[in-house]
Amino acid sequence: MKGKVWKFGNDIDTDIILPGRYLIYTDEERLSEHCMEGLVPDFKSKANEGDFILGGTNFGCGSSREHAPIAIKGCGISAVIAESFARIFYRNATNVGVLLLEAPVISKVIEDGEEIEVDMEKGIIISESGKEYEFKKLPPFMLEILEAGGLINYLREKNE
């Protein structure tokens, strides 16, 4: 996976990812139009398919709204990389098929706008200048859930 980095700070909360006034929608298309809009207006049109969101600590804190990871998914983001994630967001993101990668100090070494590469097999993030940073590898069942596009698709595939 290769893409551009959209870097945000620590404690990126679910109100920033998707403000409360848009929770009346449930479809990915409409939700994603408002993703991150408090910090980057028109984020969806600016981000390219395959780009990465980079956060510091406690990414996704706040509400249990699953609308937040759905909005990120709808922007075509290939992974959210952060030093740590909030609990409910972590579970919701996996459940809807958004890849989250946890890597220590990553937000201090990668800059906004950098083109990076993620090697899932080796478990490394490669910076634009070629430096390698390890992330916590995911267990196989989580990769299967993500490949299926989320928990429900995964369960349906298993049942077929």
Partner 1 sequence: MSTMAEKIFARAPGKGEVVAGDIVMADIDIAMMHDLTGPLAVESFNKIGTEKVWDPSRIVIPFDHQVPADSLDSANNHILMRKFVEEQQIENFYDVKEGVCHQVLPEKGHVIPGTVIVGADSHTCTYGALGAFATGIGSTDMAMVLSTGQLWFKVPETIRFNIDGKLKENTSAKDIILNIIGQVGADGATYKSCEFAGETISQMNISDRMVLSNMAIEMGGKTGLIEADAKTYDYLKDRVSGENRNRLKAFIEKSNLNTDLDSEGLEMIDIDVSDLEPQIACPHNVDNVKPASECSDIEIDQVFIGSCTNGRIEDLRDAAKILKGNEIANDLRLLVIPASKETYLKALDEGLIKIFVEAGALVSAPCCGPCLGGHTGLIGPGEVSLSTSNRNFKGRQGSPEGQVYLSSAKVAAASAIEGRIAVPK
Contacting range for partner 1; rule: CB under 8 A; set: 23-31, 45-53, 74-82, 131-139: 23-31
Task: Give me Rg for the CA atoms of the chain.
Answer: 15
- Determine the size of the site formed for partner 1 (CB under 8 A): 37
- Is residue 86 a contact point for partner 1 (CB under 8 A)? yes
Contacting range for partner 1; rule: CB under 8 A; set: 15-23, 43-51, 109-117, 119-127: 15-23
Of 21, 55, 58, whose CA–CA distance to 37 is shortest?
Answer: 21
**Quick one: how many helices (H) and strands (E) in the chain?**
8, 7
d(Cα 47, Cα 5) in Å, to the nearest integer? 9
**Would you state the structure tokens that stand for residue 109, as one six-digit string?**
């070494």
- Is residue 152 a contact point for partner 1 (CB under 8 A)? yes
Residue placing its CB nearer to partner 1 in the complex, 70 or 116 = 70
Q: Which of 57, 117, 124, 148 binds partner 1 (CB under 8 A)?
A: 57
d(Cα 37, Cα 43) in Å, to the nearest integer? 6
- Is residue 33 a contact point for partner 1 (CB under 8 A)? no
Of 133, 115, 117, whose CA–CA distance to 4 is shortest?
Answer: 115
Q: Which residues bind partner 1 (CB under 8 A)?
A: 11, 13, 15-16, 19-26, 37-39, 57-58, 61-67, 84, 86-88, 91-92, 95-96, 150-152, 155-156
